[in-house]
Amino acid sequence: MGDRYAPHVAEIRMALGDRVGVDVILEDLEKLVKYRVPLDEAKRSIIKKHGGTDSVRKTLSELSAADRMVEITVKILNVSKRDVDVRGVRRTILSGILGDGTGQVPFTAWNEFDLEKDDVVRIRGAYVRLWQKQLQVNLGERCEITKKDIGAGLGEVESEVMPTRLADVRSYMSNLCVVGIVLEARQEVVKTRDGERTIIDGVLVDDSGKLQFTSWVLDDKIKTGSSLRIENAYARPFRGIPTINISEQAAVILSEKEITPIEDAVHCSICELLGRDGALDVAVWGNVLSVRPGSGLVMRCPDCNRVIQNNICRAHGDVVPVTDMRVKSVIDDGTGPITLVLGAELTEKLWGHTLKEAEEMASKATPDSVEKDIRDRLTGRMIAVRGNMSNGEYGASLVAESVWFVERDVGGEAIRLLEERGVHR
């Protein structure tokens, strides 16, 4: 019977340390199970009986989204205070980054614990959840926090927050640290709830990609060509793409880190692209699987540019429409499909006819004749696309800024594939 409970005894020992022997724990556990006490409840009861907490000790690299009541010993690498609305109640929380010898993880403290940067603390009773596809440690009322001496068996801990690659930035990330070169920067005046405000908009680039940023503070260091380390920023989606936001709580530091920035569009597979929340200036190729209904000639509202039916805009009512042309298609590179949207200019380029010619074709035949002709021309063709990918509530779509046909040497590719598999002609 002892072997059966060995993993559970080991778990209890992790919570109690060496204060109680294995035989005593096993005896207590077998007795409770004999009286039909559920195993999880029995373990909690034994831990409580011997003066422990039912937290399980783990390192940051061992955490999982299902963890409840864990014990970790960590260093506070970054911490900031902010006010949030929780179920209609305004409260102050702490958020930041924890580190130990195995990694770094963001945290949120829902109570005002006494935590400062560079503190080494033992946290008992924390729980973990997945937030925006990222593990996050949460500290609630049941947490016990004890400050420890520097070191405390942590191993070698980074003194700074590790920067996130721009390609890995997700919408709604907080306590974000990025390092990159300012590719573009410009001041703009925007209207906010508190009136007009001058901000800095631009594009940041590193060796993994590009992202737009908005700085809500005017900082002389944020200028074209500057190499920056930005700490305690946050990300929000803008037109379906994560945008880095720099507020008063953020720190902008001139960086000496050597960066080899992406000079052109980021070339990647569609599968890789679909794993992101959005992407700026990327390039993919693929076969056109289908041209969707709604392609060809469309009518747009002259005020908001929405596609309309029967000259009625849902925002502006009866309008005199503007004729436009587009392609909504699906392309696939063998790793996955994505919706591709082409505007009028790129539609003309691929299809080979102008907007005026399309109107003449529609007037001489049926209204959907343009869509049919585009479908016949593009379906099955391989194309390369450069543009921006958004990944919102309606799924992922790539809006092209440039597009061209790709001519493939199918025979040569087949020969190379056979040779890679050890088959020779």
pLDDT digits (tens, 9 = 90+) for 70-95: 889 999 999 988 888 877 888 888 99
Predicted local distance difference test score (pLDDT) of residue 151: 61
Mean pLDDT estimate for the chain: 89
Q: Residue 102 has which token pair?
A: 């195995």
CATH of domain 266-405: 2.40.50.140
- At 153 the pLDDT is 62
Main-chain dihedrals φ then ψ at residue 393, nearest 5 degrees: -65, -20
pLDDT for residue 376: 96
Query: What CATH superfamily is the domain 173-254?
Result: Nucleic acid-binding proteins (2.40.50.140)
pTM of the model: 0.77
Contacting residues for 138 by C-beta, under 8 A, at least 6 apart: 107, 108, 109, 110, 126, 127, 128, 129
Q: Express each pLDDT in 318-374 by its tens digit.
A: 999 999 999 999 999 999 999 999 999 999 999 999 999 999 999 988 878 999 999
Q: Which pLDDT value is given to residue 52? A: 67
pLDDT score, position 291: 97
**What are 37's two structure tokens?**
């006490």
Our measurement of the distance from residue 202's CA atom to the centroid of its chain's CA atoms, rounded to an integer in Å, reads 20
Architecture of domain 60-148: Beta Barrel (2.40)
* Domain residue ranges in the chain: 3-51, 60-148, 173-254, 266-405
Q: List pLDDT tens digits, range 283-310.
A: 999 999 999 999 999 999 999 999 999 9
Q: Tell me: the pLDDT tens digits for 380-404?
A: 999 999 999 998 778 899 999 999 9
> pLDDT band at 1, cuts 50/70/90?
very low
Nearest to 175 by CA among 123, 105, 243, 228: 105
